[in-house]
Structure 1
Amino acid sequence: MLQAFSADPPCAMCGQTASHVELVPPHAKPVTWQHWSPQERRTFEAARQRRGPQQWWLLYSGIERGNGSGDPVDEARALRIVAAFTEPYCYSAVTTAGFYDDAGFCGQCDAPYCHRHWNVSSSGYGTCPRGHGKSLDPHWWPEDL
């Protein structure tokens, strides 16, 4: 049975959170709700009402971007996310969740890195501490075009 879930893969370099993935059950509040501003709370509640308060809600913060006040997800996607972020974390599992930036994981290193340890260009293309590159922004476009 699906339950509230959150994952914060730690950066392989410093241990800080590389990304945040949270599944919020219908009618529940996010785990960090008490730290949200009144405006963030209103935005979350309004979005949830518009899209269906009976749905599961996905909150995501990645290396460069996130999904703001969240997105509704069906149970199949929620189960896929839970499976992808079950410890121990590994790139091959995390990629099955379908996040544009693979939740900060470098596929070649099989490790997550935080924003500080990804060298991210102004276009959103980044290189990990070992020099492997990838897009970390869903709107990335090569700088040399």
Structure 2
Amino acid sequence: MLQAFVAEPPCAVCRRPATHIELVAPGTRPADWQLWSPQQRDAYTAARRRHDDQQWWLLFSGIEAGNGSGQPVDLAEAQRIADAFTQPYRYAAVTSAGFYDDAGFCGQCDAPYCYHHWNVSSTGYGQCPRGHGKSLDPHWWPDDL
């Protein structure tokens, strides 16, 4: 049975959370709600009001981007994300969640890295500490197109 969860794969270098993935169960609040500012709470509450309160909700903070106040996900997608973040975290499983930045994982290293260890350029392209690279910003678009 699907349950709410928070996943924060630790950076392979410094052990800080590489990313934050949270599935909020229908009718509940995020795990760290009490730490949110009034503005964050208002934005989240407003976003939830625009959708069915009995829907699962995804909160994601990635290397270069996230989904702000979150987004609704159906039960099948929520289950797919939960399955992807079963410990121990592995790239092959995490990539099945469909996050643009693979939740901070380098596929070649099979390890997550935080923003500081991805060495992200101004274009959103990052290189892991071992030199493997990929685009980490879903909003970046080349100026010359």
Equivalent residue, structure 1, for 2:107: 107
Partner letter of residue 28 of structure 2? Answer: A
On the 8 A contact 1:125/1:142 being kept in 2, the answer is: no
Deviation of 1:6 after TM superposition, in Å, equals: 1.1
* C-alpha separation in 1, matches of 2:113 and 2:33: 25
User: Taking structure 2 as the reference length, what is the TM-score of the superposition?
Assistant: 0.96
- Any residues of structure 2 matched to 1:113-124 within 5 Å, and which? 113-124=113-124
Instruction: Check 1:99–1:40 CA distance in 2 against 1; reply closer, same or farther (3 A cut).
Output: same
- Report the secondary structure of 1:99's partner residue: coil
- Where structure 2 has 5 or more consecutive residues not aligned to the other structure, the ranges are none
CA deviation digits over 1:58-114, x for unaligned, max 9? 000001111000000001111111110000111010000000000000000000000
Kindly report structure 1 stretches of 4+ aligned residues shifted beyond 4 Å: 142-145
* C-alpha separation in 2, matches of 1:134 and 1:140: 12
On the 8 A contact 1:123/1:143 being kept in 2, the answer is: no
Alignment RMSD (CA, Å): 1.3
* C-alpha separation in 2, matches of 1:13 and 1:23: 26
- Any residues of structure 2 matched to 1:1-145 within 5 Å, and which? 1-141=1-141
Task: Give the share of equivalent positions with the same residue, in percent.
Answer: 72
- Report the secondary structure of 2:116's partner residue: coil
Partner letter of residue 33 of structure 1? Answer: W
- Where structure 1 has 5 or more consecutive residues not aligned to the other structure, the ranges are none
* C-alpha separation in 1, matches of 2:6 and 2:48: 18
On the 8 A contact 1:56/1:72 being kept in 2, the answer is: yes
